[in-house]
């Protein structure tokens, strides 16, 4: 029955997504955006895109934060349309995609509770795709223990918390450890679920989730330098999947600096090519610049993998890939807007091209 449903409804939704993909900004449109001299010019250029209706009522001059928020609104509306027009098993797959945003939202509320901030105010800063029905109930909690108990009972993330964390773990010193621990559990669970869906979904999602696991492994390693996190604790945060699992993860758990990280990555062909010309000390600026960072190359590799998922038909991976490509598109637009706003047009082309 699932196969029949997928061929009918899955094909219908996939057709919608391919239309969305065709709505991604083209190279010509990016060139027009980079030629803009003011935010009003940029807004005018975006008027003919999917973002136009969400920007038309914004007063001038429009800030880059407003631009980012309205573009995100457009993305959220499109994704929620897919959710509303899906049923099992596609609906469950779409739910899995939202769990990463839920983790970020819950971490934000935990941080606010630790700092004794009004968590109701923090709801406005939460990502819309990470909302769940009982999330407002988390704002009632006044202590970390209360918040933990609420998450354990009324959150889609309850299983991850139950598996990995206790209320005693929720403190300010552990906040990034908590985030990475939850993401580890989430990625491993998502990978197992995709395997149950069979090919081609299992193969397509296997590639993108392995990449995400590798990226998180590298970032955890780099961000642990100069901190109190021990090498043993670092290793425990690595997702148990990816092209680097387990051999390279064992090596990365022992490295002490960026040069050693690069030496490990260069043992893998896909990452050796990705590292060519990378400045490991550069901050992110987007592909296309003269001083590429490792993050820039990760973004570029992610775009390539997600574009490739559209080359196959009748699989769920296109839902994940479309969302990631749209997020990159929004980062590109906001980057261009920032360069225009700060009158740094010499850097305006440093974005990660998609098509």
In this structure, what DSSP letter does residue 8 have? I
- On the 0-12 / 13-18 / 19+ scale of CB atoms within 10 A, 257 is exposed
Place of tokens 């993401």: 183
Pair (299, 328) in one structural domain? no
In a domain, 109, yes or no: yes
Domain boundary among 157, 176, 196: 196
Q: Which residues of the chain have pLDDT under 70?
A: 1-22, 153-154, 167, 172-173, 277-292
pLDDT value for 20: 60
Judgement on whether residues 214 and 304 belong to the same structural domain of the protein: yes
Residue 14's CATH number? 1.10.132.50
What was the pLDDT predicted at 12? 57
Q: Let me know the angle formed at the C-alpha of 125 by 121 and 36, rounded to the nearest 5 degrees.
A: 135
- 171 and 210 share a domain? no
Q: Could you tell me which of 204, 234, 230, 203 has the C-alpha nearest to residue 216?
A: 234
Number of separate domains in the chain: 3
> Do 37 and 121 have their domain in common?
no
pLDDT per position as a tens digit, 134-168: 787 777 777 777 777 777 766 788 888 888 877 67
C-alpha dist (Å) from residue 345 to 31, 294, 336, 337 = 13, 23, 8, 10
Q: Go through 87-113 and write b for each residue having 16 or more CB atoms within 10 A of its CB, e for each that does not.
A: eebbeebbebbbbbbbbebbbbbbbbb
Whether residues 207 and 235 share a domain: the answer is: yes
How much is the pTM?
0.88
Q: What is the pLDDT of residue 4?
A: 33
Domain shared by 334 and 235, yes or no = no
Residues 204 and 311 in one domain: yes
Q: Which residues contact 281 (CB under 8 A, 6 or more apart)?
A: 258
List, for residues 291-304, the tens digit of each pLDDT value. Answer: 668 888 899 999 99
Interatomic CA distance for residues 20 and 355, integer angstroms: 13
Q: What's the confidence (pLDDT) of residue 100?
A: 95
Instruction: Check residue 113 and give its pLDDT.
Output: 79
Dist CA 12 CA 205 (whole Å): 20
Tokens of residue 354, six digits: 């998609």
- From 222, 194, 196, 220, select the one nearest 209 (Cα to Cα): 194
> Does a structural domain hold residue 205?
yes
Range of the domain at 62: 1-86+316-346
User: Quick one: 205 and 309 in the same domain?
Assistant: yes
Q: With contact defined as beta carbons under 8 Å apart, do 329 and 28 qualify? A: no
Residue 355 lies in a domain: no
Q: Counting beta carbons within 10 angstroms of the beta carbon of residue 243, is it exposed (0 to 12), middle (13 to 18) or buried (19 or more)?
A: middle
pLDDT in tens, 113-127: 777 777 777 888 899
Q: Is residue 324 part of a domain?
A: yes
Q: Are residues 235 and 333 in the same domain?
A: no
Regarding whether 278 and 189 lie in a shared domain, the answer is no
Helix (H) / strand (E) containing 300: helix 294-308
Where a domain ends, among 149, 175, 196?
196
* 154 plus 50 within the same structural domain: no
């Amino acid at each position: 029955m699932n196969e029949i449903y997928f061929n009918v409804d899955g094909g219908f939704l996939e057709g919608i997504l391919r239309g969305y993909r065709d709505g991604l900004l083209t190279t010509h449109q990016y060139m027009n955006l980079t030629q803009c001299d003011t935010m009003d010019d940029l807004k005018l250029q975006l008027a003919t895109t999917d973002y136009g209706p969400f920007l038309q009522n914004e007063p001038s001059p429009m800030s880059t934060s407003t631009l980012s928020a309205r573009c995100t609104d457009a993305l959220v509306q499109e994704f929620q349309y897919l959710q509303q027009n899906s049923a099992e098993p596609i609906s469950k797959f779409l739910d899995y995609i939202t769990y990463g945003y839920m983790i970020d939202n819950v971490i934000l509320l935990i941080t606010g509770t630790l700092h004794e901030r009004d968590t109701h105010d923090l709801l406005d800063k939460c990502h819309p795709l990470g909302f769940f029905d009982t999330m407002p109930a988390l704002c009632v909690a006044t202590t970390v223990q209360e918040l933990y108990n609420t998450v354990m009972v009324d959150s889609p993330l309850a299983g991850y918390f139950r598996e990995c964390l206790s209320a005693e773990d929720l403190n300010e010193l552990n906040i990034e450890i908590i985030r990475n621990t939850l993401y580890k559990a989430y990625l491993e669970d998502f990978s197992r679920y995709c395997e149950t869906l069979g090919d081609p979904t299992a193969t397509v999602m296997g590639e993108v989730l392995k990449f995400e696991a590798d990226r998180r492994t590298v970032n955890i390693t780099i961000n642990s330098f100069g901190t109190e996190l021990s090498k043993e604790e670092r290793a425990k945060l690595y997702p148990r999947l990816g092209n680097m699992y387990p051999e390279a993860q064992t090596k990365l758990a022992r490295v002490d600096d960026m040069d050693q990280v690069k030496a490990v990555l260069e043992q893998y062909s896909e990452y050796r090519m990705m590292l060519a010309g990378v400045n490991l000390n550069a901050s992110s600026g987007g592909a296309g610049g003269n001083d590429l960072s490792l993050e820039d190359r990760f973004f570029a590799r992610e775009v390539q993998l997600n574009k490739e998922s559209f080359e196959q038909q009748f699989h769920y991976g296109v839902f994940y890939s479309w969302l990631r490509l749209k997020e990159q598109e929004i980062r590109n637009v906001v980057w261009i807007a920032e360069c225009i706003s700060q009158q740094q047009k010499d850097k305006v082309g440093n974005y990660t091209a998609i098509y």
